[in-house]
Amino acid sequence: MSATLLIGSLAGVLGLALLARLLGLGAAQLADEAEAQAIAEAELPGFIAARAELAADREAATVWGIHGERVCLRRHGAQFVAEMLPAGERRDWRP
């Protein structure tokens, strides 16, 4: 591997990341409670959503399952990650 290739690759990496930012790519908001429930169900095997509550900025949500379990949904880049909360744990929407 030559130094030229190494430096060129690094320049390409940083350049593309900068272009992604300049092009305004990324960011995501939950459309509604139904989308939050659908994401929680898709992310967690066996989880069946009963209801959801969105954060004011629509970048996070709490989703309740039919057994009372709770799932925290938060934006990660342009996607969302879901985490099952232990019983009794409170979770701020914007940790």
Shortest Cβ distance from residue 25 to another protein (Å)? 4
34 binds another protein (CB under 8 A): no
Instruction: Choose which of 33, 35, 44, 58 interacts with another protein (CB under 8 A).
Output: 44
The one-letter amino acid code at 48 reads I
31 binds another protein (CB under 8 A): no
- E strands, 1-95, in order: 49-54, 60-65, 70-76, 79-85
Q: How far apart, in Å, are the Cα atoms of 53 and each of 3, 20, 41?
A: 52, 31, 15
Q: What x-and-dash track marks residues 50-79 binding another protein by CB under 8 A?
A: x--------------xxx-x----x-xxxx
